[in-house]
Amino acid sequence: MHFIKTSPRYFQVTLLAAAALASVPAAAASQCKGMQQDACGARAECAWVNGYVRKDGRSVSSHCKKSAREKSADRTTSPAVKLSHAK
């Protein structure tokens, strides 16, 4: 087997870049995570979800999450395309 020799500096830069890229989605998804109900309700991009019991019997605690309103606003900015099926 042939191994490519790389410098320790290259390894450090690669490792740092991978760590930075891996943390981006987690940071973006957690903007509302962990907020109390009052703080969650004060932010337009967040929505409070009351606790409930799933069909499988597992209890879900009340929590703050990213609002669906923000997602629907993104959908309305792109033009809708209707496809008609001519027969």
Whether residue 1 is contained in a domain is answered as no
In a domain, residue 65? The reply is yes
Residue 14 lies inside a defined structural domain of this protein: yes
Q: Extract the tokens encoding 74.
A: 């993104």
- Boundaries of domain holding 25: 8-72
Give the model's pLDDT for residue 35: 94
In-domain check, residue 39 = yes
Would you call 65 exposed, middle or buried from its count of C-beta atoms within 10 A (0-12, 13-18, 19+)?
middle
Give the per-residue pLDDT at 67. 85
Tell whether 3 is covered by a domain.
Answer: no
Instruction: Please check whether residue 60 lies inside any domain of the structure.
Output: yes
For residue 2, tell me if it sits in a domain.
no
Tens place of pLDDT per residue across the chain (87 aa): 555 666 677 667 666 666 655 555 544 556 899 999 999 999 999 999 999 999 999 999 999 999 876 544 444 454 555 555 555
Question: E-assigned strands of 26-85?
Answer: 46-49, 52-53, 59-60, 63-66
Count up the domains in the chain and report the number: 1
The pTM is what?
Answer: 0.47
Tell me, what's the pLDDT at 5? 63
- 28 membership: H or E segment, kind and range: helix 8-29
pLDDT for res 46: 93
In a domain, 84, yes or no: no
